[in-house]
Chains A and B, each alone.
Chain A
Amino acid sequence: SQQGEEDPQALSIQEGENATMNCSYKTSINNLQWYRQNSGRGLVHLILIRSNEREKHSGRLRVTLDTSKKSSSLLITASRAADTASYFCAIVGGSNYKLTFGKGTLLTVNP
């Protein structure tokens, strides 16, 4: 299956701490994307990292990709209560129009 799988399923931290979420997959990819979803809302695109890239940053977000281990991680630094949401990784394999999403990590940041 091309589906990405996030780990952990749920994560609870205190405001100011860092949060790390992982995504593993089984096939070769063109790129891997991270999305955020607040409860009952649509998804918001965070970062896209291509198969030939190893690390990308956007504000407090840092994404790494290790194609040899078929895994990616999303790090949120100095977390805030407003970061509370579900985070999904999605993979694109080859010349493909489709994203295949994992089941997500529910992040709770306690004030």
Chain B
Amino acid sequence: SQTIHQWPATLVQPVGSPLSLECTVEGTSNPNLYWYRQAAGRGLQLLFYSVGIGQISSEVPQNLSASRPQDRQFILSSKKLLLSDSGFYLCAWSPRGAGNEQFFGPGTRLTVL
């Protein structure tokens, strides 16, 4: 069966510090991968998605970047965090192809102080 891991589960970082959140998927090959951010009491905002190694589509221009160095690894990064980067970050995968259901990781709660 497929599983998706995210770490860390929680993170408190000062403004201006760098960020690296990691997501890995097991039990499947060639997945589509996604990074979302969820503000308190709100829906999900798609940040990045990837349909293959090295292929990244950015949905919202901002302070963040994403990379996919391996087929089942997706990394969300920032060089300098802003207060507005605080939120709940969710990684998800879906089977190859368009419009499929997505399977979410447990999320990372990021607080920028």
Chain A positions within 8 Å of B, measured between CB atoms, are 3, 30-31, 33, 40-45, 48, 88, 92, 95-104
**Could you tell me if B102 and A45 are in contact, using CB atoms closer than 8 angstroms?**
yes
**Could you tell me if B109 and A40 are in contact, using CB atoms closer than 8 angstroms?**
yes
**Could you tell me if B59 and A102 are in contact, using CB atoms closer than 8 angstroms?**
no
**Could you tell me if B43 and A97 are in contact, using CB atoms closer than 8 angstroms?**
no
Q: Mark B74-113, 1 if CB is under 8 A from A, else 0.
A: 0000000000000010101010001111111111010000
**Could you tell me if A99 and B46 are in contact, using CB atoms closer than 8 angstroms?**
yes
Known pairs A40-B107, A41-B107; A97 contacts B44 (CB<8 A)? no
Instruction: For residue B79, give the distance in angstroms from its CB to the closest CB of chain A.
Output: 26
**Could you tell me if B103 and A98 are in contact, using CB atoms closer than 8 angstroms?**
no
Give the residues in chain B near A31, CB-CB below 8 Å: 99
- B side interface size, CB within 8 A: 24
Classify the interface of chain B: helix, strand, loop or mixed.
strand
Q: Mark B49-84, 1 if CB is under 8 A from A, else 0.
A: 101000001010000000000000000000000000
Known pairs A97-B32, A98-B59, A102-B43; A42 contacts B104 (CB<8 A)? yes
Nearest A residue (CB) for B94? A97
Chain B positions within 8 Å of A, measured between CB atoms, are 32, 42-44, 46, 49, 51, 57, 59, 88, 90, 92, 94, 98-107, 109
**Could you tell me if A43 and B99 are in contact, using CB atoms closer than 8 angstroms?**
no
**Could you tell me if A95 and B98 are in contact, using CB atoms closer than 8 angstroms?**
yes
Nearest 10 pairs of A and B residues by beta carbon: A42-B104, A92-B99, A103-B43, A101-B44, A45-B101, A101-B43, A43-B104, A30-B99, A95-B98, A42-B106
Known pairs A99-B46, A102-B43; A41 contacts B106 (CB<8 A)? yes
Nearest A residue (CB) for B45? A101
**Could you tell me if B43 and A98 are in contact, using CB atoms closer than 8 angstroms?**
no
Could you tell me the distance between the alpha carbons of A88 and B103 in the complex, rounded to whole angstroms? 14
Instruction: For residue A64, give the distance in angstroms from its CB to the closest CB of chain B.
Output: 18
Give the residues in chain B near A97, CB-CB below 8 Å: 32, 49, 51, 57, 94, 98-99
